[in-house]
Amino acid sequence: MDRLREMEVFVAIIERGSFSAASEKFGLSRAAVSRAVNALETRLGAQLLARTTRSLRPTDAGVAYLEACRKLLDGITDAESHIATNLANPVGTLTITAPVQLGQRFIAPLVNAYSLRYPDVSVNAVYLDRPTRLLEEGMDVAIRIGRLEDSSTFAVRLGSVRRQTFASPAYLAGHGEPMHPRDLAGHHCVSFTGVSQPFEWMFYENNAKIPVRLQPRLIVNLAPAAISAAQDGVGITQLLSYQAATEVACGNLVPVLRAYEPESVPVSLLHVERRGTSGKIRSFVEFVTETLRNNPYLQCASGLKTEGECTPAQDNRELTRRRSEAPAPYLQPLIHSLDD
């Protein structure tokens, strides 16, 4: 029996007046209760209870120890109550970070919903296209794409994405579709430096790397600029799957060279507390995890098109109308829970 339970047993004996009553409270045998008292007395080197066949009372040492036990146990109860209240009604400032476009498309709506659910938490959202070290930079939670190396944090797997190659239907109609990565030598290319080297793109065939040297027609450092250029027919570009997911679903971009893509990389949520003892951290982790795991654009193995998204036959005006009328399908369960 641990020391804390021995203290609880000792207090129960005094408050209930007998070993039998204490044994009933904790579901212990009378012998176990007696052993708990003997263990306390042996460790303290003092008699705590004066026992006769007809009465039981604390000794002077027992009275002093009883008061100390009550203070300790009351303090533990208060602490647990405070933590439970903090978890149910989190307060404070929560600092999170995520990649810029992932944050704009998928994390920001969740942050907004979280802020409405937990008004006593102030959120500081920092969107950066670089890895952050949570402890050193004062971050509570990070959404990260890629393999994890930071052993000081704890990770929750959300999904996966992969590097893919895209072109507009109009470009493919005018220039043909590359069937092998080396065919890119005869195509216009738009290099996005956030995903690929500007003058060399990497593909894979039978687990072997295929580096392809390029002379890009355009080099950009922002994913939206690469998407815009590819949609306008400037050339073929490489992006992470989620970055072009909406454009692919709408038929504005088409994935090419699918057989030569690299393995997918994980999308993870990192936080600094193993058991989420901070109410603000635990509440945010629990709030966003299921929704992000249900986001089809972060589950690249199942493809980019999903039921309920627009199809190539619909034009952009129809897409805009539908999005103004209803939220994305993966957000609907979350919104319903807020309404409840």
pLDDT at 335: 44
**Is beta strand 200-205 parallel, antiparallel or unpaired with respect to 189-192?**
unpaired
Q: Where are the beta strands (DSSP E) in 71-162?
A: 92-98, 121-127, 141-145, 154-161
Distance, in Å, from the CA atom of 99 to the CA atom of 131, rounded to the nearest integer, reads 8
What mean pLDDT is predicted for residues 147-170?
84
Distance, in Å, from the CA atom of 13 to the CA atom of 264, rounded to the nearest integer, reads 62
- What phi and psi, each to the nearest 5 degrees, are found at residue 173? -65, -35
pLDDT at 233: 95
pLDDT at 133: 78
| Contact status, residue 102 vs residue 128, Cβ threshold 8 Å | no
pLDDT at 171: 97
Task: Please write down the long-range contacts of 98-101, taking CB distance under 8 Å and 24 or more positions apart.
Answer: 98/125, 98/127, 98/142, 98/143, 99/127, 99/128, 99/129, 99/143, 99/144, 99/145, 100/127, 100/128, 100/129, 100/223, 101/223, 101/224, 101/242, 101/243
- Which residues are 271's β-sheet partners? 141, 154
Average pLDDT, whole number, for the chain?
A: 82
| Contact status, residue 230 vs residue 190, Cβ threshold 8 Å | yes
Flag the least confident range among 10-24, 276-290, 325-339.
Answer: 325-339
**Which domains, from first to last, does the chain contain?**
3-88 (1.10.10.10), 92-162+265-339 (3.40.190.10), 163-260 (3.40.190.10)
Q: In this predicted model, what pLDDT tens digit does every residue of 169-223 receive, in sequence order? A: 999 999 999 999 999 999 999 999 988 899 999 999 988 999 999 999 999 999 9
Helix axes 3-16, 60-88, angle to 10 degrees: 110
Helix axes 3-16, 30-44, angle to 10 degrees: 110
pLDDT at 316: 35
pLDDT classification of 277: cutoffs 50, 70, 90: low
pLDDT at 80: 67
The answer to whether residue 38 scores a pLDDT higher than 70 is: yes
Distance, in Å, from the CA atom of 2 to the CA atom of 25, rounded to the nearest integer, reads 17
pLDDT classification of 48: cutoffs 50, 70, 90: very high
Distance, in Å, from the CA atom of 225 to the CA atom of 31, rounded to the nearest integer, reads 76
What mean pLDDT is predicted for residues 278-292?
88
pLDDT at 87: 60
Which residue type sits at 284?
A: F
- Which residues are 57's β-sheet partners? 50
Q: Which residue has the higher pLDDT, 139 or 183?
A: 183
Flag the least confident range among 156-170, 194-208, 276-290, 322-336.
Answer: 322-336
pLDDT at 273: 63
| Contact status, residue 164 vs residue 259, Cβ threshold 8 Å | no
The answer to whether residue 312 scores a pLDDT higher than 90 is: no
pLDDT at 35: 92
pLDDT at 317: 33
- What phi and psi, each to the nearest 5 degrees, are found at residue 267? -110, 125
pLDDT at 78: 65
pLDDT at 73: 87
pLDDT classification of 319: cutoffs 50, 70, 90: very low
45 Rama class: left (phi>0) / alpha (psi -120 to 50) / beta = left
Q: In this predicted model, what pLDDT tens digit does every residue of 99-136 receive, in sequence order? A: 998 998 899 999 999 999 999 899 999 998 887 777 77
pLDDT classification of 325: cutoffs 50, 70, 90: very low
Number of C-beta neighbours around residue 134 at 10 A: 21
